[in-house]
Amino acid sequence: MNITLRQLKVFERVAKRLSFTRAAEELFLTQPAVSMQIKQFEEAVGLPLFERLGKKIYLTQAGAELYQLSRNIAQQLDEAEQLIEELKGTETGRLNVSVANTVHYFAIRLLGEFCRRHPKVRVSFKVTNRKGLLQNLEDNEADLLLMGQPPDTQDLEAESFLKNPLVIIAPAGHPLSGKKNIALKELSNETFIMREIGSGTRNSVERFLAERGVHLTVSMEMNTNGAIKQGVEEGLGLGIVSIHTLERELEGRRLVVLDVESFPIMRQWFMVHRAGKRLSAIATQFAEFVRQEAHRFVRNDIIEAAIGHQLADLRKGDTDKP
């Protein structure tokens, strides 16, 4: 069987995505080029690897068997590339990082400083939602992920590296603005713009409120924090977002953080990778950089000004517990 590594790589991506179009986009090829590589690969194998039903494609039995082999080969090739880069020295190499939408507000500054210290490193930086992050883990596409609470259903290694307070925001001039210790039950009179079902923020908020017997009226769902903030500014409802996403809006006084009892919801950000994954030298250095210096890239002055007393109340509540 006379096949090339290029054909194997194209096949692996088409089989993973079950889409010639998506594979072409991810490999930076044209769709005809991908189709040609698959045709040549099937001719070399001597068996059909895909069947086309309507507009969808499916793996044949031979295709499914070869896909499993191609995944293993692709991973071994990546490890070989990492090894070669390490032999050249830790100042070079490739780093693949995926982050949650919420994290990217400060992660881009974090990564920028890391790249200034390691200018020869090639970086792939992907921002996506929780569903995309979990897919990254399943496909083993990133060295490290920065995200909220990781799932318990996958074999992962995770460590928290930074606190992530969730706060309730309102447009400047809202009737509740400036009011102290707003009762949770008062929120039942308001409408909320929330993240999509399944997002880390949405899961945390719903669990937090359910424990307190509180139900919020959700008028809109949006899949980015930016859209939520804009919707709140326009008076479409209140929102619940990470304090770290609010730097510009709070400085510009376009949004305010409401002083609500039991808030903020205190979450953590985690650094995650698949258990047993062999991290390259540069990925190991980046992980240590996150551990040691992530706190430098968040605006603690803004956090203290917006929710300092609320955080103090939470800490006091913890110490008061028997």
CATH number at residue 74: 1.10.10.10
Instruction: Give yes or no for residue 316 having a pLDDT over 60.
Output: no
Report d(CA 36, CA 54) in Å as an integer.
Answer: 20
Claim to verify: residue 170 and residue 76 sit in the same structural domain: no
Instruction: Give yes or no for residue 77 having a pLDDT over 70.
Output: yes
> What distances in angstroms separate CA 137 from CA 14, 75, 132, 151, 244, one per listed residue?
18, 13, 9, 11, 25
Claim to verify: residue 207 and residue 309 sit in the same structural domain: yes
Radius of gyration, CA atoms only, the chain: 24
Claim to verify: residue 296 and residue 315 sit in the same structural domain: no
Examine the fold and report which residue of 38, 67, 83 is the final residue of a domain before the chain moves on.
83
Instruction: Give yes or no for residue 237 having a pLDDT over 90.
Output: yes
DSSP 240-283: EEEGGG-HHHHHTTSEEE--BTTPSEEEEEEEEEETT----HHH
**Would you state the pLDDT for residue 192?**
94
Mean pLDDT of 61-82: 81
The two most distant CA atoms of the chain are separated, in Å, by 74
Domain span at residue 143 reads 89-161+269-300
Claim to verify: residue 257 and residue 172 sit in the same structural domain: yes
Q: What is the pLDDT of residues 148-203, one digit of tens each?
A: 888 877 788 899 999 889 999 999 889 998 888 899 888 888 999 999 888 888 88
pLDDT classification of 301: cutoffs 50, 70, 90: confident
Q: Which of 5-19, 96-110, 301-315 has the lowest mean pLDDT?
A: 301-315
> What distances in angstroms separate CA 117 from CA 80, 110, 120, 257, 289, one per listed residue?
25, 11, 9, 36, 11
Q: Which of residues 97 and 303 earns the better pLDDT score?
A: 97
Phi, then psi, of 198 in degrees rounded to 5: 100, -15
Phi, then psi, of 121 in degrees rounded to 5: -80, 135
Report d(CA 258, CA 152) in Å as an integer.
Answer: 32
Report d(CA 318, CA 236) in Å as an integer.
Answer: 35
Claim to verify: residue 280 and residue 173 sit in the same structural domain: no
pLDDT classification of 279: cutoffs 50, 70, 90: confident
**Would you state the pLDDT for residue 275?**
86
Question: How many structural domains are present in the chain?
Answer: 3
Please answer whether residues 81 and 87 qualify as being in contact, where contact means their C-beta atoms are separated by less than 8 angstroms.
no
Claim to verify: residue 70 and residue 96 sit in the same structural domain: no
**Would you state the pLDDT for residue 252?**
87
Report d(CA 229, CA 235) in Å as an integer.
Answer: 10
Claim to verify: residue 146 and residue 168 sit in the same structural domain: no
> What distances in angstroms separate CA 201 from CA 50, 134, 322, one per listed residue?
39, 15, 29
What SS3 state is found at 158? strand
Report d(CA 251, CA 302) in Å as an integer.
Answer: 8
Mean pLDDT of 240-259: 90
Claim to verify: residue 108 and residue 219 sit in the same structural domain: no
Q: What is the pLDDT of residues 210-232, one digit of tens each?
A: 898 888 889 899 988 899 999 99
Q: Which tokens sit at 315?
A: 């800490």
pTM above 0.75, yes or no: no
Examine the fold and report which residue of 43, 60, 83 is the final residue of a domain before the chain moves on.
83
Per cent of the chain over pLDDT 90 is 28
Contacts of 160 (CB under 8 A, 6+ apart): 268, 269, 270, 271
**Would you state the pLDDT for residue 215?**
86
Residue 178 is classified by DSSP as: T
CATH number reported for the structural domain that contains residue 316 in this entry: 3.40.190.290
Q: What is the pLDDT of residues 89-114, one digit of tens each?
A: 556 678 889 998 888 888 888 999 99
Claim to verify: residue 130 and residue 277 sit in the same structural domain: yes
- Mean per-residue pLDDT of the chain: 85
**Would you state the pLDDT for residue 89?**
57
**Would you state the pLDDT for residue 321?**
42
Please answer whether residues 270 and 147 qualify as being in contact, where contact means their C-beta atoms are separated by less than 8 angstroms.
yes
Claim to verify: residue 241 and residue 203 sit in the same structural domain: yes
Claim to verify: residue 263 and residue 182 sit in the same structural domain: yes
Claim to verify: residue 156 and residue 102 sit in the same structural domain: yes
